[in-house]
Structure 1
Amino acid sequence: MNASLTSLQNKANKLIDYLNQFEHYSVAVSGGIDSMLLAFIANKFSTAKVTVAHAFSPAVPEAALQRVKEHATDYNWDLQILNAREFDDPNYINNPVNRCYFCKSNLYTRISEQTKGIVFSGTNLDDLADYRPGLEAAKEQNVQHPYVEAEIDKATIYALAKHYNLKQLQSLPAQPCLASRVETGMKINAKDLDFINQVEEHTRQVFPELKNVRCRITRLGTFLEIDSVPETPEFQSLSTQLDQMCAQTGRIFSGVRTYQKGSAFINGMSHE
């Protein structure tokens, strides 16, 4: 076993040792690679009784729900799908700079009410350097972060997904909730989030090679953000299609620009 593989296995063992301290726990799974991998490792290697909790709402793409269901079936997870009810919270709807705090507060409250034992998140070491109000909600509700305890970062998560041959997960890009695409201070509503999802899904169908795709709803109109903006006829056709999609829903398509994490919605601090 080479040094890098040994190091990776040591990280996995440290994570499993941490998980095995508990008899019952739930893993909050969004459908992204971090929480999905944690659920996989917990169910496959942990000695505990594990519940996988997924909250489905307008802020979660349909594809994420289907991914969670498929993995739950394939790997025999005890899956609970619940409504976090964040759309009942005016603090969330008003979309302040710390919207994520209210989202996670509602999420962790519902999970704690409907599952047994402590709640785990997919937060990793890299997340601690970001602006993430949801971490404050986690702290208040005693939600624990096994990746942090095991000193695992995003690169290690991708490496572990590859190590366990989880092909769908190892190619999965970052997928923050759809509400993160709406400019701070603009109210969150289900129709906007559905439109955002439609635009992003359509873009990925046309250009499946794109890693980062974000539809941003801003006070200046609707933007598409991607890794780079190619000058090709196919891309010009996509721009025309997106302009038409916006017009059909009474929106203004303001063009395509290079992807920026968080889109500087909150003075340069990441919203994702």
Structure 2
Amino acid sequence: MKSSLNSILGEYRSLAVLFSGGRDSEVLLRAAVSSSDPGSVLSITADSPLLADFYRRRIRQVCGELGLVPAMLPVWRKMEPLLRKNGTERCYVCRKTVYGVLFPEALARGAGTVADGTTVDDLEERRPGLRAAEEEHIMHPFVLAGMGRSDVIELGRSMGMRDDGPPPDSCLATRIPEGMELTRELLRLVESVEAPLRPIVRGRFRVRVMPGILRVEYQTVDGEKVLSCLREMETTAGRAGMGIETVLTDGQSSSRYR
């Protein structure tokens, strides 16, 4: 599969990778740089309150290692009025707006192709943003190479990426239930509660907004680490007049703090 991916990447005259700071897009970016002239690869990112600062730092770090200058394009002013209502099509609306900004900018910077880290496993999930990607001509090299998440992880290992990197993640909007007004302030609150967990938690976790509660969902293996940050998270939530609820993702236990 690696050789197939290299062949696919080699067909692109110049490539812009939509780099979110997550594992899949990082693997794609590293693979593109290793199989092409580094000068023909562009890292481009939609910069908005939907992107946790942890990933901004990660993007700059990875691009620095690869000798790239990340293109961080502000998109919030354009997307905020469209996303504020936070309807059932928010993912599609978000991606459509983002691609509408990033695609022409990538072309203006010399890219002939724009691609993301979508895998074949992603095609099996409800991802309205994939419809926007198709409409805006975003390529999926991993899909073309028949690669799923496990294949991407293995490819990352072969390029020296560590297994204890950031867990799979999604944008901060996914923490806020559909129908609840999506504001910069609410996104910042979620990010600030998640912030102390990001450097230490290796499993998948989420801070979800509930009525009067910020619900911290985590995996059993990270229980002690999550609880060690509880006071800091409780203080942050308290400033917004909310409590903290911690819940194992297997549903075995739940604790509430006010």
Same fold (TM over 0.5): yes
Q: CA RMSD in A?
A: 2.4
Structure 1 unmatched ranges of 5 or more = 1-10, 261-272
Measured in 2, the distance between the counterparts of 1:74 and 1:230 equals 29
How many Å apart are 1:251 and its aligned residue? 2.0
Q: What does residue 84 of structure 1 align with?
A: 75
In the alignment, which of 71, 83, 102 is matched to residue 111 of structure 1?
102
2:123 alignment counterpart: 128
CA contact (8 A) 1:43 1:77 kept: no
Structure 1 CA distance for aligned equivalents of residues 222 and 246 of structure 2: 10
Contact conserved, 1:204 with 1:213, CA < 8 A, in 2? no
Does structure 1 residue 18 correspond to structure 2 residue 8?
yes
Deviations 1:201-239 (A, max 9, x none): 22345xx2441221111235221111139887x866644
| Separation of aligned partners in 1, 2:223 and 2:16 | 47
How many angstroms does 1:87 deviate by?
Answer: 5.5
Number of the residue aligned with 1:212: 204
Tell whether the 8 Å contact from 2:92 to 2:129 is kept in structure 1 after alignment. yes
State the partner residue of 1:39.
29
The residue type paired with residue 203 of structure 1 is L
What is the 5 A alignment of 1:165-204? 165-167=160-162, 171-204=165-198
Q: Give the paired residue count.
A: 245
The 1:88/1:127 distance shift into structure 2, 3 A limit, reads closer
The alpha carbon displacement at 1:259 in A equals 2.8
- The 2-side partners of 1:166 and 1:229 are apart by 22
Give the Cα–Cα distance (whole angstroms) in 2 for the partners of residues 28 and 183 of structure 1: 26
Matches within 5 A, 1:45-84: 45-46=35-36, 49-84=40-75
The answer to whether the aligner puts 1:28 opposite 2:22 as a matched pair is no
Alignment TM-score, normalising by the size of structure 1: 0.82
Conserved in 2, the CA contact under 8 Å of 1:124 and 1:153?
A: yes
Which amino acid in structure 2 is aligned with residue 144 of structure 1? M
Determine if contact 2:49/2:76 at 8 Å carries over to the other structure: no
Contact 2:193 2:207 in 1 (8 A): yes
Letter in 1 for 2:159: Y
Instruction: Quote the Cα distance in structure 2 between the aligned partners of 1:53 and 1:129.
Output: 26
1:121–1:229 Cα change, 3 Å: closer
**What CA distance in whole angstroms lies between the structure 1 residues aligned with 2:125 and 2:66?**
32
**Structure 1: distance between partners of 2:160 and 2:221:** 32
Partner AA of 1:188 in structure 2:
L
SS in 2 for 1:17: helix
State the identity as a percent: 24
Distance 2:60 2:27 in 1: 14
How far does the alpha carbon of each residue in 1:178-220 deviate from its partner, in whole angstroms, 9 at most, with x for none? 1110111111111211121121122345xx2441221111235
Cα deviation for residue 172 of structure 1 reads: 2.3
Runs (5+) with no aligned partner, structure 2: 251-258
Instruction: Tell me if the contact between 1:200 and 1:214 (Cα under 8 Å) persists in the aligned partners.
Output: yes
Amino acid at match of 2:215: F
**What amino acid does structure 2 have at the position aligned with 1:75?**
L
Question: In the superposition, relative to structure 1, how do residues 244 and 229 fare at CA in structure 2: closer, same or farther (>3 Å)?
Answer: farther
- Tell me the amino acid that sits aligned with residue 250 of structure 1: G
Aligned partners of 1:231, 1:64: CA distance in 2, in Å? 23
Answer whether contact 1:24 1:50 (CA < 8 A) is retained.
Answer: yes
Mapped to 1, the partners of 2:180 and 2:164 lie a distance apart of: 34
Instruction: State the AA in 2 paired with 1:171.
Output: G
Partner AA of 1:190 in structure 2: R
- CA distance in structure 2 between the aligned counterparts of 1:218 and 1:202, rounded to whole angstroms: 20
